[in-house]
Structure 1
Amino acid sequence: MDNNFENFPPIGGLLVSKMIFDENRKPLFMYRNKSTRQEDSGWKIFSGFESEAYTDDPRNIIICNPSTLLKVDPSVAPLLLKGVGSVYERENEHSDWYRVSDYPLDDDFMVKHKLTESWTIDINNLFERRVEETGSLLYTTGDKSVRLSIWREEGQSQAQLKAHFKQVGLTRDQSLAKTVQTFDFSDEYVARVGYQIKEADGDKSYDVIYTFNLIENEVLQAVFYFDEPSDIDWAIETWKNLKLKD
């Protein structure tokens, strides 16, 4: 079926090797770095036949809309919606794309952010950070996100709060979304409890882990959203990287 892709979501411009257009090649390698401008998607896309000297010459890279590239190769359409930090490769134009986990990106390193006088978080620099209208703090790459909220429960002890939030995952309304599993990563200083569910937004389903991190009567809620089930390891690791300030 003919599709001109003009209604593709407005993700921003792509940096694409001229070799794909000049030599009628299909993309074989692509990665999405952190964007510095709203009109830039962060995607860089190559045929896989470029030399280092070729890619170092800015004259060999063009900026185009997603629809322009998708008319050349529709197979990249679902990949273009993947988040910052995504890297994909395939052996030839007839092969399936696969996710690459060991390709070094310029912005791929851990940073420590101070959240309050009590809390810090260690998180990958690929995540964009913004404060939402509700006052929550959001870190996101597009397909992985963390939403943070902090409040106090006056008159409640840490032990009482832990017991309450531990029950939330077990007693919540299962007709809305079933609790997949519950967690307890508490230590002698911080009570950490949470639960995992699966949510859906239109045709897209994703996993969510609701966590409650408690010191005295202070509650730090961290909610982790991720599209790929394999990213549960990222969610758990980042959850454990919520730490008390030294």
Structure 2
Amino acid sequence: MKSLNPDTAPEPGYETAQTKNGFLALVSRLVFDEKLPIRFMYKTVPEHLNDTGWRMFTGYETDEFLANEQLNLLPVPLEKVCQLDPALPELVQYNAGTVWERPPESSEWVQVHDFDIPAPTTEVAITNDVEDFIKSRERS
């Protein structure tokens, strides 16, 4: 396993002390269908018990591609994904909120600090008007 750059490696227990749950990562279909390497990944808060929170991409995904998560992001055991790149086992030890990228001209991973990790959104309408509430329930 390749060591991380000492300048970017976390202090022991600081960025890797989070409780580990789950075993699945969501990985872009392009990694498997097109045999492209993973070049961008982030860890979000896991959505269920089997989820690690890791989301992995090639960097060639379009907005339209990413909009269809159920078709284009595959749940893959993290152990299988780590076999694709010898640097991944060390990187996937990091906590939620961590972002990594590997520029095309480089074989080294670099931690990213200016990327906003997407959060799932749920639209909620709040009203204090009983009639509006009843109408909204009838429409649903």
Q: TM-score range by the shorter chain?
A: 0.5 to 0.7
Query: Any conservation in 1 of the 2:28–2:72 contact (CA below 8 Å)?
Result: yes
Aligned residue pairs: how many?
Answer: 100
Match of 1:49 among 60, 70, 82: 60
Q: List, as ranges, runs of 4+ consecutive aligned residues in structure 1 with deviation greater than 4 Å.
A: none
The CA deviation at 1:11 is 4.4
Query: Any conservation in 2 of the 1:28–1:89 contact (CA below 8 Å)?
Result: yes
The structure showing larger relative contact order (alpha-carbon pairs under 8 Å, at least 6 residues apart) is 2
Correspondence 1:103 to 2:125: no
Quote the residue 1:61 is aligned against: 73
Match of 1:70 among 67, 70, 82: 82
Correspondence 1:84 to 2:86: no
Quote the residue 1:18 is aligned against: 29
User: Hey, which of these two has a bigger chunk of strand by percent?
Assistant: 1
Corresponding residue SS for 1:68: helix
Aligned residue identity for 1:21: F
Q: TM-score, normalised by structure 1?
A: 0.38
For residues 108-187 of structure 1, what are the structure 2 equivalents within 5 Å? none
Corresponding residue SS for 1:20: helix
Distance 1:78 1:102 in 2: 21
State the percentage of identical aligned residues: 28
Aligned residue identity for 1:67: E
Unaligned runs of 5+ in 1: 1-8, 108-246
Query: Any conservation in 2 of the 1:31–1:44 contact (CA below 8 Å)?
Result: yes
Cα 1:11/1:81, change in 2 over 3 Å: farther
Larger CA Rg, structure 1 vs 2 = 1
**Cα offsets for 1:183-236 (capped at 9, x unmatched):** xxxxxxxxxxxxxxxxxxxxxxxxxxxxxxxxxxxxxxxxxxxxxxxxxxxxxx
Corresponding residue SS for 2:52: strand
